[in-house]
Amino acid sequence: MKKILRLVLLSLLFNWYSTIDLAATSNQIDVVKIENFIINPITANFIIKAIDTAEKNQAPCLIIQLDTPGGLLESTRDVVKKILNSDIPIITYVSPSGSHAASAGVFITYASHIAAMAPSTTIGSAHPIEIGLKSPFSKKEENTKQDDQDILTNKITNDLLAWIEGIARQRQRNVEWVKRAITESVSLTATEAVEQKIVNFLAKDINELLNKIDGKSVETISGPKTISIKGAFLNYVNLTERDKILNTIANPNISYILMLLGIIGLIFEFSTPGIGFSGIAGIICILLALYSFQILSVNYAGLALVAVAFILFVAEALTPGFGLLALGGIISFILGSLMLFKSSFPFLRVSLSIIIAAVITTAAITIFFVAKAIKIHRSKIKTGKEGLIGETAIALNDFDKKGKVFCHGEIWTAYNTRNDTIKKDQEVKIIKVDGLKLWVEKVEFEK
Q: In this model, does residue 164 exceed pLDDT 50?
A: yes
User: Strand 90-94 and strand 114-117: pairing?
Assistant: parallel
Residue 141 or 69, more confident: 69
User: Is the pLDDT score of 54 beyond 70?
Assistant: yes
Quickly state the pLDDT bin for 221 (edges 50, 70, 90). very high
Half-sphere exposure of 148 (CA within 13 A, CB side): 12
Least confident among 48-57, 107-116, 144-153: 144-153
Is residue 289 within 8 Å of 262, Cβ to Cβ? yes
DSSP string, 199-236: SSEE-SSHHHHHHHHTT-EEEETTEEEE---TT-EEEE
Amino acid present at 308: V
3-state helix, strand, coil in the chain (%, to 5): 55, 20, 30
Kindly state the helix (H) or strand (E) to which residue 25 belongs, with its residue range. helix 2-26
Of the pLDDT bands very low, low, confident and very high (cuts 50, 70, 90), residue 36 is confident
> Reduced to 3 states, what is the DSSP secondary structure of residue 389?
coil
Query: Is the Cα dihedral 292, 295, 299, 301 positive or negative?
Result: positive
Among 64, 171, 193, 185, which Cα is nearest to 119's? 193
End-to-end CA distance of the chain: 113
The pairing of strands 100-102 and 122-124 is parallel
Residues 103, 112, 125, 343: which is the catalytic one?
103
Statement: residue 428 has pLDDT above 60: yes
Q: How far is CA 229 from CA 26, 103, 199, in A?
A: 11, 31, 21
Q: Is 247 helix (H, G, I), strand (E, B) or coil?
A: helix
Sign of the CA dihedral running 175, 74, 79, 64: negative
Please give the average per-residue pLDDT across 424-430, as a whole number.
85
pLDDT number for residue 380: 53
The question of whether 103 is a catalytic residue gets the answer yes
Among 424, 414, 418, residue whose Cα is nearest residue 444: 418
- Among candidate residues 413, 439, 381, 341, the one with its CA nearest the CA of residue 134: 341
pLDDT band at 272 (very low <50, low <70, confident <90, very high): low
Sign of CA dihedral 155, 158, 159, 160: positive
Is pLDDT of 138 > 90?
no
CA distance 87 to 53: 11
Taking the CB of residue 243, how many other CB atoms lie within 10 A of it? 16
Q: pLDDT band at residue 97, thresholds of 50, 70 and 90?
A: very high
Judge whether 46 and 101 are in contact, CB under 8 Å: no
Mean pLDDT for 263-278 is 72
Between 323 and 71, the more confident residue is 71
DSSP annotation string for 46-111: HHHHHHHHHHHTT-S-EEEEEEBS-B-HHHHHHHHHHHHT-SS-EEEEE-STT-EEETHHHHHHHH
Give the three-state DSSP class for 430: strand
Q: Which residues does 50 contact at the CB level (< 8 Å), separation at least 6?
A: 30, 32, 62, 237
DSSP 154-165: HHHHHHHHHHHH
CB atoms inside a 10 Å sphere around CB 353: 9
Identify whether 145 is a catalytic site residue: yes
pLDDT tens-place string over residues 100-118:
998 899 999 999 999 999 9
Task: Select which of 49, 134, 140, 145 is catalytic.
Answer: 145
Task: With residue 23 as reference, give the H or E element that holds it.
Answer: helix 2-26
For residues 424 and 79, the model is more confident at: 79
The string of pLDDT tens digits covering residues 288-322 is 888 888 777 777 788 888 888 888 877 776 776 66
Taking residue 228's Cβ as centre, other Cβ atoms within 10 Å add up to 14
What would the mean pLDDT of 345-353 be, rounded to a whole number? 69
Rounded to an integer, what distance in angstroms lies between the CA atom of residue 348 and that of residue 429? Answer: 66
Cα-Cα-Cα-Cα dihedral of 58, 42, 112, 95, to 10°? Answer: 100
Distance CA 128, CA 261 (A): 32
Domains with residue ranges and CATH for the chain: 2-242 (3.90.226.10), 251-378 (no CATH), 385-445 (2.40.50.140)
Q: Stretch 385-404: mean pLDDT, rounded?
A: 80
pLDDT tens readout for residues 365-379: 777 766 666 665 555
Alpha carbons within 13 A on the beta-carbon side of 244 = 9
Rounded to two decimals, the pTM is 0.66
Largest CA distance in the chain: 117
Residue percentage of the chain with pLDDT more than 70:
79
Confidence of residue 346 (pLDDT cuts 50, 70, 90): low
Q: Is the pLDDT of residue 122 over 90?
A: yes
Return the bridge partners of 122, or none: 100, 189
b/e map of 365-403 (b: 16 or more CB within 10 Å)? ebbebbeebeeeeeeeeeeeeeebeeeebebeeebeeeb
Mean pLDDT for the chain?
A: 79
Q: Which amino acid is at 270?
A: F
